[in-house]
Chains A and B, each alone.
Chain A
Amino acid sequence: MTSNDTALLEIKNVSKFFGSVIALQDVSAFVRAGEVTCLLGDNGAGKSTLIKVLSGVHKASEGEYLFDGVQQDFGSPREALEMGIATVYQDLAMIPLMSIWRNFFLGSEPTRGWGPFKMFNSTFAKKTTTEEMAKMGIDIRDPDQTVGTLSGGERQSVAIARAVYFGAKVLILDEPTAALGVKQAGVVLKYILQAKARGIGVIFITHNPQHAYPVGDHFVILRRGQVYGDYAKEDIPLEQLVQMMAGGADLEVLQHELEEASKEGGDDAALYAETAGEIKSDLQAIGMEDDEGDA
């Protein structure tokens, strides 16, 4: 993506090194208010590292981090959170042994009273948790229930509801649909659209283009720590996004191998040749046969 004046959050040419390992190199991306930017990538693409840079857990080794057009240098997730950059992690940042309301306000407890007698306002916390969850369409019967007893979709919605409640301007979602069934994933996608409608900039990290495409405005595809593709929604059909995620180049290699195998003859030669042909026509259909070999 090119530099953008209206971006709410933007990273430019960010790299992250761990010793000799290059986890991210020259990654640029942005999100505008009320838009969803999807970061797509397979395992090992550098998604987790990028999330940690975005949320303030890691500092980028190189590159710029702009929020509202101002250069930032977060020392901890708390600093990012105070600016309105909230992250919902894959492991949900939920403590299973703690109750829903304690989890909901963990790290941002409402207090009443003064000085050394400041108390965690549990009445308010319980009431608010129930209300906020109801807004997301989840009926929490008992905010004292431990989070460990909730289903994956429910936990996810608690985490998203929490971030939205705390006035997130940017919501970073780490694989929110990964562990969910089809229908529960749909519920989470609905919350993403709700957040977007409220003017929140959403960064949606996923390896699933089927989940990303319906809600995304921009798609940044990561591979091996670098940006492999970068598209606005109108510039890329779902099929091509799927193909790029599946790794068009890998499929080409597979196609060639199958062709070689079929030339060697043997019992399965016909099958190999047929499969290779199918892959070839698929690649042609999405216009990837010969370009983007290595990106």
Chain B
Amino acid sequence: MTSNSGPPPDAATSEPAPPGSAPPADERVRKTSGLSRLLSRPELGAIVGAGLVWLFFAIVAYDNNFVSWATTASILNRAAPLGILAVAVALLMIGGEFDLSIGSILGFAGMTIMVLIYPTADGGFGWGVWPAILLALVFALAIGFFNGSLVIATKLPSFIITLATLFIFRGLTIALTRQFTNRTQLGDFDEASGAALADTLFATDFTILGASFRVAIVWWIAVAALATWILLRTKWGNWIFGSGGDANSARNVGVPVSRVKIGLFMTTAFAAFLVATIQAVQFNGSDTLRGFGLEFQAIIAVVVGGTLLTGGYGSAIGASFGALIFAMVQQGIIITGVDGDWFQVFVGGVLVIAVIFNNYVRQQAAKR
């Protein structure tokens, strides 16, 4: 703590302690402790970044009504699905792995629901909404388990394994949907039985001060809070940090690294399922291309949120703020009327700056 005011003469009494190194090291800790402690919070960069981006648009787009409840609602509604995914991906990346397949899992889960509830006359299965959602959940978790098991069993980089499953499950989504229904877009979610309850749970809007906030924001906050609690307050969190920090060392002290990693892949798959369900209800249907490219947006949000690409360090709160930055930029560009084509340029730029900043922060943290 900051009360480490042990005077240097202390060294004389602690003869058995490793000599030489201890007293100067303590002096360094004392000098920079306050600043580096703040800097060593992984989410700090994203929180400061979110503030700066908001301030930027608040000034530039003030006349376009950026500072308003309506815009705030739009930003949060936009950020929520990405935020849910980013939180799960943050856990996985802290655990030292990648998942490029979440966009495809999202598409697959969404189409699973829609094909199952689609009328039998049109090539669907005519199921009720809830059995369909349940089976989509089972499929998603199975895909996550498959991803994780394959990574563990083959010892190949998860980047490669999930790049393969990205294609496999996007392809399956398109092929199977067309096989059954001869279409690539399915609508009329609300006509299936049980749709009303699903609508309440996944697509309610709350009107606060005249602006419409979606219930997905609540899901996002709940997922982020749960993830943060798991990371910082449970043994599973400790195991996630350990597995990502040094899998061998963690295994040597008894951490079930394989189980942790497979569980994390199932977590990202679950997040993809959750977003798929929310969007199927909200948009009253799904599309075989839904979630396309979302895996990269999620990874960017996570990295901007201060999580190290190499694992072992990061935060779910940071990932949420990363998603928020993403949504603010998108919304800001839309309402200022800047050509949307420039959006990706901006996102790429933010990513590079964030990674450089994070590297700097980590070096500072290591030096203290």
A154 contact set on B, CB distance < 8 A: 18, 21-22
Give the contact-size bracket for chain A: 35 or more
Of B246-254, B280-288, B315-323, the stretch lying at the interface with chain A is B246-254
Query: Are B254 and A78 closer than 8 Å at their CB atoms?
Result: yes
Query: Are B18 and A139 closer than 8 Å at their CB atoms?
Result: no
Query: Are A139 and B237 closer than 8 Å at their CB atoms?
Result: no
CB-based nearest B residue for A184 = B18
Contact of B253 among A97, A106, A120 (CB under 8 A): A106
**Residue B256, interface by CB 8 Å:** yes
Q: How far is the CA of A138 from the CA of B6 in the complex (A)?
A: 13
Query: Are B253 and A93 closer than 8 Å at their CB atoms?
Result: yes
Knowing A93-B253, A95-B246 are in contact, say whether A149-B25 is a contact too (CB < 8 A): yes
Interface centre among B19, B245, B256 (most CB of A within 10 A): B245
CB-based nearest B residue for A81 = B254
A190 contact set on B, CB distance < 8 A: 16
Q: Chain B, 123-160, contact with A by CB distance < 8 Å: what is the 0/1 string?
A: 00000000000000000000000000000000000000
Query: Are B235 and A111 closer than 8 Å at their CB atoms?
Result: yes
Q: Chain A nearest CB: distance from B96 CB in Å?
A: 11
Q: Chain B nearest CB: distance from A81 CB in Å?
A: 5
**Residue A208, interface by CB 8 Å:** no
Q: Chain B nearest CB: distance from A150 CB in Å?
A: 8
Interface size on B, residues (CB 8 A): 41
Query: Are A95 and B25 closer than 8 Å at their CB atoms?
Result: no
CB-based nearest A residue for B237 = A120
Query: Are B14 and A151 closer than 8 Å at their CB atoms?
Result: no
Knowing A95-B312, A142-B29 are in contact, say whether A106-B255 is a contact too (CB < 8 A): yes
Q: Chain B nearest CB: distance from A97 CB in Å?
A: 5
Contact of A97 among B234, B235, B248, B312 (CB under 8 A): B312
Knowing A93-B249, A93-B252, A120-B233 are in contact, say whether A137-B16 is a contact too (CB < 8 A): yes
Q: Chain B nearest CB: distance from A176 CB in Å?
A: 13
Of A84-92, A251-259, A277-285, the stretch lying at the interface with chain B is A84-92
Query: Are B238 and A97 closer than 8 Å at their CB atoms?
Result: no
Q: How far is the CA of A282 from the CA of B366 in the complex (A)?
A: 49
Q: How far is the CA of A155 from the CA of B256 in the complex (A)?
A: 23
Query: Are B245 and A95 closer than 8 Å at their CB atoms?
Result: yes
B residues bordering A, Cβ < 8 Å? 1, 4, 6, 10, 14, 16-22, 25-26, 29, 40, 233-235, 237-239, 241-242, 245-246, 248-256, 308, 312-313, 365-366, 368
Q: Give me 15 A-to-B residue pairs in the complex whose CB atoms sit less than 8 angstroms apart, sorted by A's number.
A: A89-B252, A94-B249, A95-B246, A105-B238, A106-B255, A107-B242, A109-B235, A120-B233, A139-B10, A141-B6, A153-B18, A153-B21, A154-B21, A183-B19, A183-B20
- 18 new A-B pairs (CB below 8 Å) besides A107-B242, A146-B366? A55-B252, A78-B256, A81-B253, A93-B249, A93-B252, A98-B241, A98-B312, A106-B250, A107-B250, A118-B234, A119-B233, A120-B235, A120-B238, A138-B17, A139-B14, A142-B4, A146-B40, A190-B16
